[in-house]
Amino acid sequence: MAYTESWSGKINRKLIKKRRIIDVAAGREQADLVLKNATYVNVFSGELDTCDIAVAEGLIVGMGSYSGREEADMTGRIVCPGFIDAHIHLESSLVSPGEFARAVIPHGTTTVITDPHEITNVMGTDGIDYMLAATEGLPVDVRFMIPSCVPASPMDESGANLDYRDIDSFFEHPRVQGLAEMMNFPGIIAADSSTVAKIVASQAHHKKIDGHAPGLSGKALNAYISAGVYSDHECADLEDAMAKLKLGQFIMIREGTAAKNLEALMPLILSEKCFSRCMFCTDDKHPSDLLELGHIDDICRKAVALGADPIRTVQVACLHAARYYLLNNRGAIAPGYLADFAIVEDLKDFHVVTVYKKGKPVYQDGQVAHFPLPQIPEHLDSLAHNTFHLPHLDPSDFANVRPRGVIGMVPGQIITTDEGYAGQVDAERDILKIAVVERHKNTRHIGIGYLKGYGLKAGAVATSVAHDSHNIICVGCRDADMAFAVNQVAQNRGGIVVARDQEVVAQLPLEIAGLMSDKPLPQVNDLLEQAKAAAYALGVGKDIDPFMTLSFMSLPVIPTLRLTTRGIIDVNTQQYI
């Protein structure tokens, strides 16, 4: 018979632990770890202080003069609280959560708030269960916001359709902070019952609700916020951010791979009155950025270079997200807080030299400490590796019988423009055929349109990373190459394919739900870079990311035109064109 600890046993164990914490803090017992002579960022007083930092049972217990079983001299270093990413989709890293953790630990990240709506759009609630299992016990705390829009819009076609009853039980999970970005702002503004019910369910559990409403203003914004949406990460300009901040929303300043808003929103950080309502997030972060630039440390570096006060920057990178998400024992260096430290050389370059998680070194001497990967239940692992259900396609499946809308790309942005209609590919005028192929339920639905601004001159590019429903999106010059590329993606169980003359030029398999790879991050990055080079060689504009840019062309909640499995829609009017 399995042993189950009694309630009184748990209380007694916690009592013993708490008494030891008090004894160490009072100086009656040695600490587990002491950071000696530590100059640290005091996020409460907004200054640098120097003292010993004592750690016991994974918590900071004392600031002053202490001795420990282990001691580390911090002279010449600056100790920051572990950095927090306020909003990220782990799937955007294209690797498993364990590999993601291995990538961000060297950059001082100790907590991330993830929205698993990518995998949930593929696998439904099984996707949430998969990500919860795959992140359990990692040396980076992964907290969850439960997807609010699966699919992102009623006009989209994903692998699942979740209402409030499907997600309600997840709000009781200890690592769930609330309801993720409410992209269906038209549904909220219209007081649609099924959409509003998800907010009501989250609030019934006293949880946060994050926002996603680019450019929303006036009474529509009032309606959106009054429903209970507390934040926004889609502000691309200061006017939009200030309008939302003045109405009480917290602003997540996003600097990721696809969208970079830090420079435009710097006045918020520079403002004594506004900066406390801000936090940093990446939203999406591709392998090359993680390897070459970093994570939240990179945003800190850029903010300081743009004129931000270094200590204020650390407050935005740590404390504000912790306060917003009610993670009351992190984001600061003080007694009772988790011993999560990002130790840097200075507050200019933010070069991280050592990282501690709950008082244990997880990165030092240029090496990430070994950690065991979580065990994923077999049935979830099997489901995640078998998510493609569509027939073998022929060139005739991509034939066009009438003029279709032309989606115009905007350099450096994920918004699009309406470029009228076209009836055929014209590579010289940079008008290409684009298709979205339903891959979840074998419906044979294929949406067809045209794309302007991508630059491809020959062949085809296809990917199963197609926000947010993650059907297969493909752009090409010839129907035969498009059919070949889509079939190859399906055969690989997901990923990216660059093809020409019905042959693979480069590819990156993403076998976990068609979104992530089982392989190490450097290997995934190498394959991704090879695929990028192949796409550029076929004419794709060097000023865009060939795959991330393409992946957003199917997201029906970002203006102006998008392509779904049923055709091109005008996002502003929510009508097919």
- Residue 55 tokens, joined: 């750690």
The answer to whether residue 360 is domain-embedded is: no
Are 287 and 398 in a shared domain?
Answer: no
Cα gap 44→319, rounded to integer Å: 9
Cα gap 107→25, rounded to integer Å: 29
pTM of the model: 0.95
- Residue 9 tokens, joined: 């046993």
Collect the ranges in the chain with pLDDT lower than 70. 1-5
Does residue 98 contact residue 138 with C-beta atoms inside 8 Å? yes
Exposed (0-12), middle (13-18) or buried (19+): which is 71, by Cβ within 10 Å?
middle
The answer to whether residue 528 is domain-embedded is: yes
Q: Give the β-pairing of 446-452 and 431-437.
A: antiparallel
Paired with 364 in beta bridges are 367
Cα gap 192→263, rounded to integer Å: 36
- Residue 28 tokens, joined: 């009656």
pLDDT single digits (tens) 63-77: 999 999 999 999 999
In three-state secondary structure terms, 344 is strand
Does residue 406 contact residue 419 with C-beta atoms inside 8 Å? yes
Are 514 and 413 in a shared domain?
Answer: yes
Q: Phi then psi for 523, rounded to 5 degrees?
A: -70, -40
The answer to whether residue 260 is domain-embedded is: yes
Are 292 and 412 in a shared domain?
Answer: no
Are 286 and 172 in a shared domain?
Answer: yes
Paired with 418 in beta bridges are 407
Cα gap 350→142, rounded to integer Å: 23
Nearest to 398 by CA among 551, 160, 563, 561: 563
Are 265 and 195 in a shared domain?
Answer: yes
Cα gap 91→470, rounded to integer Å: 11
In three-state secondary structure terms, 201 is helix
Does residue 105 contact residue 83 with C-beta atoms inside 8 Å? no
The answer to whether residue 535 is domain-embedded is: yes
Are 435 and 302 in a shared domain?
Answer: no
Cα gap 515→529, rounded to integer Å: 17
Of 265, 296, 330, which residue is a domain's last?
A: 330
CATH label of the domain that carries residue 113: 3.20.20.140
Please report the pLDDT score of residue 12 as a whole number. Answer: 85
Are 299 and 167 in a shared domain?
Answer: yes
Of 314, 330, 346, which residue is a domain's last?
A: 330
Quote the DSSP letter at residue 391: P
Does residue 160 contact residue 477 with C-beta atoms inside 8 Å? no
Of 285, 301, 330, which residue is a domain's last?
A: 330
Cα gap 74→67, rounded to integer Å: 14
Cα gap 337→528, rounded to integer Å: 39
Integer distance in angstroms from the first to the last C-alpha of the chain? 64
Write out the E strands in 358-511.
Answer: 360-364, 367-368, 404-409, 416-422, 431-437, 446-452, 460-463, 472-476, 495-500, 503-509
What's at 391, amino acid-wise? Answer: P
Q: How far is CA 146 from the centre of its chain?
A: 13
Are 474 and 558 in a shared domain?
Answer: yes
Please report the pLDDT score of residue 1 as a whole number. Answer: 39
Are 423 and 298 in a shared domain?
Answer: no
Cα gap 321→313, rounded to integer Å: 12
**Helices 125-135 and 97-104, packing angle to 10 deg:** 50
If you count them, how many residues does the chain have? 577
Cα gap 278→319, rounded to integer Å: 10
Exposed (0-12), middle (13-18) or buried (19+): which is 270, by Cβ within 10 Å?
middle
Domain residues for the domain of 499 are 383-576
Does residue 428 contact residue 272 with C-beta atoms inside 8 Å? no
**CA Rg value for the chain:** 24
The answer to whether residue 12 is domain-embedded is: no
Cα gap 338→509, rounded to integer Å: 38
Cα gap 485→504, rounded to integer Å: 8
Cα gap 552→544, rounded to integer Å: 12
Specify the number of domains making up the chain: 2
The answer to whether residue 302 is domain-embedded is: yes
Neighbours of 337 (CB within 10 A): 18
Nearest to 492 by CA among 459, 527, 535: 527
Paired with 214 in beta bridges are none
**Cα-based distances in Å from 21 to 24, 339, 445:** 5, 13, 61
The answer to whether residue 373 is domain-embedded is: no
Please report the pLDDT score of residue 4 as a whole number. Answer: 59
Q: Phi then psi for 289, rounded to 5 degrees?
A: -65, -45
Are 325 and 416 in a shared domain?
Answer: no
Are 388 and 266 in a shared domain?
Answer: no
The answer to whether residue 344 is domain-embedded is: no
Are 154 and 273 in a shared domain?
Answer: yes
